[in-house]
Amino acid sequence: MAAGALRAAAALGLSVPRDLAVAGFDDSFIAGLTTPPLTSVRQPTAQLARRAAAMLIAAAGPGERPAPGSERLECTIVERESTHAHR
Confidence at 72, pLDDT banded by 50, 70, 90: confident
- Determine the Cα–Cα distance for residues 36 and 82; give it in Å rounded to an integer: 6
CB atoms within 10 A of CB 41: 14
Instruction: Output the pTM of the full model.
Output: 0.74
Q: How far is CA 23 from the centre of its chain?
A: 9
Mean pLDDT of the chain: 88
CB atoms within 10 A of CB 25: 13
Minimal CA–CA distance to 43: which of 77, 3, 83?
A: 77
> How high is the pLDDT of residue 65?
67
3-class DSSP assignment, residue 37: coil
Confidence at 66, pLDDT banded by 50, 70, 90: low
> How high is the pLDDT of residue 57?
85
pLDDT at 18 over 70: yes
> How high is the pLDDT of residue 5?
96
